[in-house]
Amino acid sequence: MTVHNLEGVKQLEKIGFKRVVLARELSISEIEYIRKNTDIELEIFIHGALCISYSGQCLFSSMVGNRSGNRGMCAQPCRLPYELYANNNLLDKGFLLSPKDQSALDFLPSLIKNGVDSFKIEGRLKTPEYVATVTRIYRKYIDFILENINLSDSELISEIHKKLELKNETTGLSDKEELLQVFNRGNFSSGHFSNEANTNLIYSKKSNNMGLYLGKVQDFKAQKGHITLKLENSLSIGDRISINNENYTVSELMIKNKNFPSLPSGNTVTIGRMKGNISNGAQIYRIESKKLSNFANSTFDVEKELLKIPLDAKIAIKENSPIELTISGKTGFYSNLSVNLKTNIYPEKAINSPITKEKIIAQLSKTGNSQFKFNNIEVDLEGGLFIPKISILNELRRNSILLLEEKVKELYTFDIKATNLPNIQNRSISKSKIEKPKISLLLNILNKNASYHYLTNIDTLYIPYKYFTLEDYKYLLENLCSKFTVYIYMPTIIKDKYLKTIDKFIMQAIDIGIKGFVISHISQAEILKRYNLPMIGNYSLNIYNIETISKLRGIGLSKITPSVELEKLELNSLIETSNLHTELIVYGKTPLMTTNYCFLGKSNSCYEACKKLCKENTKFYLKDRLGFEFRLIPDNTSTITAIFNSKITSIAYKDFNVDSVRIDILDENIEQIQNIINKVILGERFEGNDYTNGKIK
């Protein structure tokens, strides 16, 4: 939900939330400010992979790769290589969107003393060994801080640094090395915690696990498969190493043809049985330590860690009757649910070895890697019977579980168009067919020299908030407000220090005639409500369903812009059941990311030595491996960069019964803008290689 300021926390607390997970882009002082001004539980991300975009504001994977990061299916386009251009001049290249993993050990004393309630560690798609190692080490240092809470932050950090360097006798590694070994991208970063600018946030050379540096290939004898190097770190048989992005398992470790199971740093060694893309001078990294993996595995019990849903079963095996199985659930979604299934197989009279209860229970208990286990199995068995195929029991178990799962899905899945959903208010507006939706025009970039007053057929004009804070644009804004119905288009991110000045600029905007607001984050609703002007909910609120719309209506919105991730059927259902007016974006380049990072200054905050390229009248863009160009719009007001799609979304609105349609303008000139408006009025869309219809198939 991109919760990045105190107002956002308070709004969610008012709605009824118990805990808020703050955006990872907050500094330690910003977290402290929020903590001092609210009693709600706070959760903070402390270790693991960072997204370059604010969470909830990344559409890159969804719009380009058709896999939604907001819905947990991110294809990670941020971990791919890009080139950065200013006009046609190459400024930078590499993995420019790939942040280093974060480690917050230096900030734990401050976070704990400030009363943060919960720490979050990244674990998605990570190995059990990673999870065991990282959680063990952080638990150790959290407990150490709690036991020595009377020490100052600097004293605690000094002690933490000392402890991080101590070697573990079992693994041969220090805590710091263990964290780096299980996963790192070019070492760790402090992320956004520091109050100072972080120019070390991105690692552009490699986007996957670096491991620990072992040394360089001094000599490679391809025929023998021998690599010689001087070890910068220890190495053991069974370790995994990486050379030129190719991975190998160490199976032969030698000094002068003598084999060793393990060797410490400082030795010049030969690794045998190596073939592939290997060259003299190539850097070698250990990406997995056998000793560390074995130690991590010894710290947890796989069977105990693998939590399964408990079921009960009753099976009846009787002569002249089909085999019958009933299974039932006792917890969670499965409470008080049961299914009964009969086979078309009848047991037979046994000649030699009749089936036993023990055999039946053993067979039914084989739930394998499924999410279920049987706690109790009741067997109603007549003596002296034989089952022709024991696999019948396996099939009966599998099919019964599938039926139970389907029953749960049916019970807990409901249609977006259903009228009996909880807390949904009755419709307050008529949804008769709207033949001619109103036209809204968003000017993402305001050109002081453009003749906007010549534009026609615009019902509402949206102008970004930042222009109302700039004295140079005052005269132009006054002219636009005198000709058009102007709404302030609010940015998604407004941190607390900028919220303190917002009233001054809003009052100035009201004085020159603005008529309303497009709010881009839930925190803005309460702030702007006091001006008693209409508020439109932007797509960045991630409006997917009518529950969301109901809540937004309750906090004062009059119109909403549905998520651009909705497909045609979902979108139509949402529009037809909405109890607020709806606006559909039908033209424009979609912002794919909103980042707390400047790609020009290579920092998460402005700093004195920056060259301030953002001040130049230059078009900046990223180019991917396929040659697609993604426009960058840096905003040094709060070090926010927007990355726009390479293609223009163009949708014909005639299939959607919306109250208004929105046109988003980026670099188009006045003539082009008017042509776009005219085409949209006709209900038509643009075709060609430069255009996409987004999710509307």
- pLDDT score of 69: 92
* 375 secondary structure, DSSP code: E
Residues 659 and 640: their CA atoms lie apart, in Å, by 32
Residues 228 and 368 in one domain: no
662 in Cβ contact with 561 (< 8 Å): yes
Residue 84 lies in a domain: no
Tens-digit pLDDT profile for residues 301-335: 877 777 899 999 999 999 999 999 999 998 999 99
Residues 514 and 660 in one domain: yes
Residues 333 and 288 in one domain: no
Per-residue pLDDT for 428 more than 50?
no
Tens-digit pLDDT profile for residues 81-98: 999 999 999 999 999 999
Residue type, 251: S
Residues 177 and 465: their CA atoms lie apart, in Å, by 47
Q: Identify the band that residue 616 occupies on the pLDDT scale cut at 50, 70 and 90.
A: confident
- pLDDT score of 633: 95
Residues 2 and 366: their CA atoms lie apart, in Å, by 44
582 in Cβ contact with 659 (< 8 Å): yes
656 in Cβ contact with 694 (< 8 Å): no
95 in Cβ contact with 203 (< 8 Å): yes
Residues 344 and 461 in one domain: no
Residue 638 lies in a domain: no
- Residue tagged 């290689």 (tokens): 689
Q: Which residues pair with 378 in a beta bridge?
A: 314
Residues 67 and 73: their CA atoms lie apart, in Å, by 5
Which ranges of 345-449 does DSSP label H, i.e. alpha helix?
357-364, 391-412
What mean pLDDT, rounded, does the chain reach? 94
- pLDDT score of 305: 74
- pLDDT score of 423: 44
Per-residue pLDDT for 418 more than 70?
no
Residue 659 lies in a domain: yes
604 in Cβ contact with 493 (< 8 Å): no
Per-residue pLDDT for 388 more than 90?
no
Domain final residue, candidates 250, 267, 302: 302
Q: What is the CATH number of the domain that holds 232?
A: 2.40.30.10
SS3 label, residue 359: helix
Per-residue pLDDT for 430 more than 60?
no
Dihedral sign, CA of 99, 101, 102, 106? negative
Residues 324 and 391 in one domain: yes
Q: Which residues pair with 341 in a beta bridge?
A: 325
Give 464: exposed, middle or buried? Use CB within 10 Å, 0-12, 13-18, 19+: buried
Range of the structural domain that residue 353 is part of: 320-405
SS3 label, residue 381: strand
Q: What is the mean pLDDT of residues 43-51?
A: 97
Tens-digit pLDDT profile for residues 560-592: 999 999 999 999 999 999 999 999 999 999 999
- Torsions phi, psi of 377, nearest 5? -125, 115
Tens-digit pLDDT profile for residues 472-484: 999 999 999 999 9
Q: What is the mean pLDDT of residues 8-16?
A: 95
Residues 670 and 567 in one domain: yes
Q: What is the CATH number of the domain that holds 468?
A: 3.20.20.60
Tens-digit pLDDT profile for residues 171-207: 999 999 999 999 999 999 999 999 999 999 999 999 9
Strands 338-342 and 309-317: unpaired
E strand spans, 224-264: 226-230, 235-236, 240-243, 246-249, 253-255, 258-259, 262-263
**Which of 55-69, 191-205, 206-220, 298-312 is least confident?**
298-312
Tens-digit pLDDT profile for residues 654-695: 989 999 999 999 999 999 999 999 999 999 999 999 999 998
Residue 529 lies in a domain: yes
Give 691: exposed, middle or buried? Use CB within 10 Å, 0-12, 13-18, 19+: middle
Residue type, 690: D
Residues 380 and 448 in one domain: no
Q: Identify the band that residue 431 occupies on the pLDDT scale cut at 50, 70 and 90.
A: low
Residue 536 lies in a domain: yes
Residues 491 and 551 in one domain: yes
Residues 230 and 376 in one domain: no
- pLDDT score of 151: 98
Residue 443 lies in a domain: yes
Q: How far is CA 166 from CA 162, 184, 335, 474, in A?
A: 7, 20, 50, 61
* Residue among 101, 51, 96, 99 nearest 75 (CA): 51
383: left (phi over 0), alpha (psi -120 to 50) or beta: beta
Q: Identify the band that residue 390 occupies on the pLDDT scale cut at 50, 70 and 90.
A: confident
Q: Which are the contacts of 187, defined by CB distance < 8 A and separation ≥ 6?
A: 100, 180, 203, 210
Per-residue pLDDT for 429 more than 60?
no
Domain final residue, candidates 302, 334, 349: 302
Residues 623 and 610: their CA atoms lie apart, in Å, by 23
Q: Identify the band that residue 415 occupies on the pLDDT scale cut at 50, 70 and 90.
A: low
Biggest CA-to-CA distance, the chain: 101
Burial of 56-68, coded b for 16+ CB within 10 Å and e otherwise, reads: bbbbbbbbbeeeb
Q: Which structure tokens are listed for 289?
A: 């330590």
* Residue among 338, 396, 389, 342 nearest 367 (CA): 396
Residues 663 and 584 in one domain: yes
Residues 287 and 328 in one domain: no
Q: Report the number of distinct structural domains present in the chain.
A: 3
529 in Cβ contact with 499 (< 8 Å): no
Domain final residue, candidates 405, 425, 448: 405
Q: Identify the band that residue 637 occupies on the pLDDT scale cut at 50, 70 and 90.
A: confident
- Residue tagged 């969470």 (tokens): 55
Residue 541 lies in a domain: yes
Residues 516 and 447 in one domain: yes
Q: Which structure tokens are listed for 335?
A: 């409470």
Q: Identify the band that residue 419 occupies on the pLDDT scale cut at 50, 70 and 90.
A: very low
Q: Identify the band that residue 553 occupies on the pLDDT scale cut at 50, 70 and 90.
A: very high
Tens-digit pLDDT profile for residues 330-386: 899 999 999 999 998 899 998 888 999 999 999 999 998 889 999 999 999 999 999
Which ranges of 530-627 does DSSP label H, i.e. alpha helix?
546-554, 568-577
Tens-digit pLDDT profile for residues 434-481: 889 999 999 999 999 999 999 999 999 999 999 999 999 999 999 999
Residue 680 lies in a domain: yes
